[in-house]
């Protein structure tokens, strides 16, 4: 899954320590919306949804505008509230229609809601805007196509990702497994032959 988690920012800091430090900074700079957003994200990271929402609202009152909707959309997605995530993401999307992060957030929120078709559309819109995509993006999208019984599209997106990433063993293996699982053995053999030699000799194949 696409990782829009605050964990990237706070990987080396205990959430409770971070929120305590930011609370001291907020107390000394009560009109600083950026500090409020940082503290809200630390609350989101520790799954303290109520406190996160309070800080998002405070930052919004200080003039952060639609930007807060994006942060709330990610928080609601983390909390498993797909409908609220979609609503907030759409507010931000009106002002930033090509923003990869919000398009990705919408993709996962739609998938969480059970709307795989919309999830596919949002992810397809997000991928060209991503500066440094990883294999996970393409694997997730291929799984969504598979859910829609569109195996050909699933294989094509894996191939597109493999080309864009200049060769990805993870995507090649995923395509091989997908072809084999759906009984397309000629396709599977073709993809097996394209794997590096050390992988072709693995017992799983």
Between 32-41, 66-75, 191-200, the lowest mean confidence (pLDDT) is in 191-200
For residue 27, is pLDDT > 60?
no
- Burial of 159 by CB count in 10 Å (0-12 exposed, 13-18 middle, 19+ buried)? middle
What integer pLDDT is reported at residue 37 of this predicted model?
86
If one compares 117 and 188, the residue with the highest pLDDT of the two is: 117
User: Tell me: the pLDDT tens digits for 100-143?
Assistant: 999 999 999 999 999 999 999 999 999 999 999 999 999 999 99
pTM for the model stands at 0.83
Angle (nearest 5°) at CA 4 between 85 and 65: 55
What integer pLDDT is reported at residue 192 of this predicted model?
87
Which residues contact residue 24 at a Cβ distance below 8 angstroms, ignoring those fewer than 6 apart? none
Averaging pLDDT over each range in 35-39, 41-45, 112-116, which range is the top one?
112-116
Mean pLDDT rounded to a whole number for the chain: 86
Q: CA–CA separation, 38 vs 18, rounded Å?
A: 9
Between 19-28, 118-127, 163-172, the lowest mean confidence (pLDDT) is in 19-28
What integer pLDDT is reported at residue 90 of this predicted model?
97
For residue 202, is pLDDT > 80?
no
What integer pLDDT is reported at residue 122 of this predicted model?
97
- In three-state secondary structure terms, 68 is helix
If one compares 154 and 29, the residue with the highest pLDDT of the two is: 154
Mean pLDDT to the nearest integer, 142-153: 97
CB 17 within 8 A of CB 155: no
Q: At 17, is the pLDDT very low, low, confident or very high (cuts 50, 70, 90)?
A: low
What integer pLDDT is reported at residue 193 of this predicted model?
85
């Amino acid at each position: 899954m696409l990782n829009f988690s605050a964990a990237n920012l706070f990987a080396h800091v205990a959430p409770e320590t971070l929120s305590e430090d930011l609370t001291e900074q907020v107390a000394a700079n009560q009109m600083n919306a950026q500090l409020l957003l940082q503290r809200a994200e630390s609350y989101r990271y520790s799954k303290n949804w109520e406190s996160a929402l309070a800080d998002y609202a405070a930052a919004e009152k200080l003039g952060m505008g639609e930007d807060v909707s994006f942060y709330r959309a990610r928080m609601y997605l983390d909390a498993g509230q797909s409908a609220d995530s979609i609503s907030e993401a759409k507010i931000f999307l009106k002002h930033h229609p090509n923003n990869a992060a919000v398009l990705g957030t919408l993709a996962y929120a739609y998938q969480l809601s059970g709307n795989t078709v919309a999830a596919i559309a949002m992810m397809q819109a997000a991928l060209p805007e991503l500066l440094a995509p990883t294999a996970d993006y393409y694997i997730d999208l291929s799984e969504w196509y598979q859910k829609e019984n569109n195996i050909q599209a699933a294989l094509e997106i894996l191939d597109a990702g493999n080309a864009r990433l200049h060769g990805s063993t993870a995507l090649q293996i995923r395509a091989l497994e997908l072809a084999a699982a759906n009984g397309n053995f000629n396709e599977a053999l073709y993809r097996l032959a394209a794997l590096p030699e050390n992988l072709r000799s693995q017992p799983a194949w």
